[in-house]
Structure 1
Amino acid sequence: MLFDDTYLTIEKPSEAIFRDRGSKFLAFAYPIIAEADIKPILAKLKTEHPKANHHCWAVRLGIDRSVFRINDDGEPAGTAGRPILNTLLSRNITNTLVVVVRYFGGTLLGVPGLINAYKVTTEEALANTTIIEKTLDDIYIINFDYQQMNDVMKIIKEDNLIVLEQSFDNNCMVKIAIRKMQVNRTIDKFENLKGTKIKLAL
């Protein structure tokens, strides 16, 4: 079961190619974190594939998986962006952009043929990368005295916390990522240590 503080995404970019009756479909899948990431990726692909007839895409964003955009880029409505998005939905992936670049081969594929081509190319691109589970984390800063070092490090290890930044001199500081689900439990542990202050990083 997926808790509210986990989500699935792709580990790294991947590609796939699919051919049907002379048309060539190239799929590019990217892990992204914000809508602002879309434009530069599309611009780069349009530069790399200036002769392609269509650059169709779909994106799904947000931990609650609620944000999505589709673009058919001149293909008949519902034949390109929607099948790409449906593939992301069926795999329950978010924070992912898939762009399918099409070179038209001279033969019309018809609506079912197009839907199939965009779906299959997207599925193959996702199959060529690893789908990973990520957790939703809150970032905290802990300030503590040097003599608390062992106790602080012990909690970090016990609770599998990710250390993002650290500095150790007279006043020590550690910046950590705590999984949302375990925030209260972990903070209690730190607050019980004398001479230790913990606060949410802004």
Structure 2
Amino acid sequence: MAYKTITQDKIIEETIKKSRFLCHMKRVSSEQEARDYIAQIKKEHHKANHSCSAMIIGDKSEIKRSSDDGEPSGTAGIPMLTVLEKQELTNLVAVVTRYFGGIKLGTGGLIRAYSGCVAHAIADIGIVEVKRQDGIQVELTYSQYQSFPNFLTSQRLQEAETEFSDRVLSTIFVDPEKSTACIEDLNEFYNGKVTTKKAGNQIVEVPMNN
């Protein structure tokens, strides 16, 4: 399991030719949750002219939906969805609410406005990769543990848990496809004089540059 989504829920506001655009971004886990959120936004902004939406749901982006909500066909929902697709995001919904300011934007202007609002919101919020990692428990002597930070730094890893008794038990988490190589590297680092065992797994969110 691995997918990309936004770091958090957030609302971003822009003014384009006197029209007020509010981009609501929310992480969701189901289509119903996304639809409930869209309904909530429409209720909160019932005086707005439009609340257009786009959603992608599923770890493999299985569900994709969009709505122009009264804007000319193809000028809002699909452009918004396209931005989410290009960023390879999923498990989120975007709702852009428009309060008309008196100046018509035209087809091209609407497409740029709605897609731009979503793109700007994503850039402001940031992206994380959500993935599962495998745990490895490492049993070390106290003298071995003194050099353990050097190994972690070289592998770009961090300790998740540490227990101190007659020996040191340290738990680290790595991507599943890297666990075997990590154990081999540990054995090489300590000349085969180290004990390791699997220690469950966890879901992590890794910030990405976007």
User: Per the shorter chain, which TM-score range?
Assistant: 0.5 to 0.7
Residue identity opposite 1:195 in structure 2: T
How much identity, in percent, do the aligned residues show? 27
Shift of residue 15 of structure 1? 1.0
Matched, 1:94 2:94: no
Shift of residue 86 of structure 1? 1.3
Indicate how the Cα distance of structure 1 residues 168 and 100 shifts in structure 2: closer, same or farther if over 3 A, else same.
same
Query: Which residue does 2:139 correspond to in 1?
Result: 144
Indicate how the Cα distance of structure 1 residues 24 and 173 shifts in structure 2: closer, same or farther if over 3 A, else same.
same
Question: How many angstroms apart in 1 are the aligned matches of 2:109 and 2:43?
Answer: 27
Residue identity opposite 2:194 in structure 1: K
Indicate how the Cα distance of structure 1 residues 41 and 188 shifts in structure 2: closer, same or farther if over 3 A, else same.
farther
Residue identity opposite 2:184 in structure 1: D
How many residues are aligned here? 191
Shift of residue 84 of structure 1? 0.5
Query: Which residue does 2:21 correspond to in 1?
Result: 25
Query: Which residue does 1:197 correspond to in 2?
Result: 197
Residue identity opposite 1:138 in structure 2: Q
Residue identity opposite 2:82 in structure 1: N
Query: Which residue does 2:77 correspond to in 1?
Result: 81
Q: How does 1:120-135 map to 2 (within 5 A)?
A: 120-127=116-123, 129=124, 131=126, 134=129
Gaps of 5+ in 2: 203-210
Q: So what's the TM-score if we normalise by structure 1?
A: 0.66
Aligned to 1:177, the other structure's residue is in SS state strand
Q: Check whether the contact 1:57–1:100 (CA below 8 A) recurs between aligned residues.
A: yes
Q: Check whether the contact 2:51–2:95 (CA below 8 A) recurs between aligned residues.
A: yes
Indicate how the Cα distance of structure 1 residues 175 and 55 shifts in structure 2: closer, same or farther if over 3 A, else same.
farther
Shift of residue 140 of structure 1? 0.8
Q: Check whether the contact 1:61–1:94 (CA below 8 A) recurs between aligned residues.
A: no
Residue identity opposite 2:15 in structure 1: F
Shift of residue 197 of structure 1? 1.9
Aligned to 2:164, the other structure's residue is in SS state coil
Question: How many angstroms apart in 2 are the aligned matches of 1:177 and 1:42?
Answer: 37
The list of structure 1 runs, each at least 4 consecutive aligned residues, that deviate by more than 6 angstroms after superposition, is: none
Residue identity opposite 1:19 in structure 2: I
Question: How many angstroms apart in 2 are the aligned matches of 1:102 and 1:114?
Answer: 11
Indicate how the Cα distance of structure 1 residues 199 and 126 shifts in structure 2: closer, same or farther if over 3 A, else same.
closer
Shift of residue 160 of structure 1? 0.8
Aligned to 1:168, the other structure's residue is in SS state strand
Q: How does 1:1-202 map to 2 (within 5 A)?
A: 10-11=6-7, 13=10, 15-20=12-17, 23-30=19-26, 32=27, 34-35=29-30, 38=34, 41-42=37-38, 45-46=41-42, 48-60=44-56, 66-72=61-67, 74-75=69-70, 76-90=72-86, 92-95=87-90, 97-104=93-100, 111-127=107-123, 129=124, 131=126, 134=129, 136=131, 138-145=133-140, 147=142, 148-150=144-146, 152-163=148-159, 165-170=160-165, 172-180=168-176, 182-190=178-186, 192-201=192-201
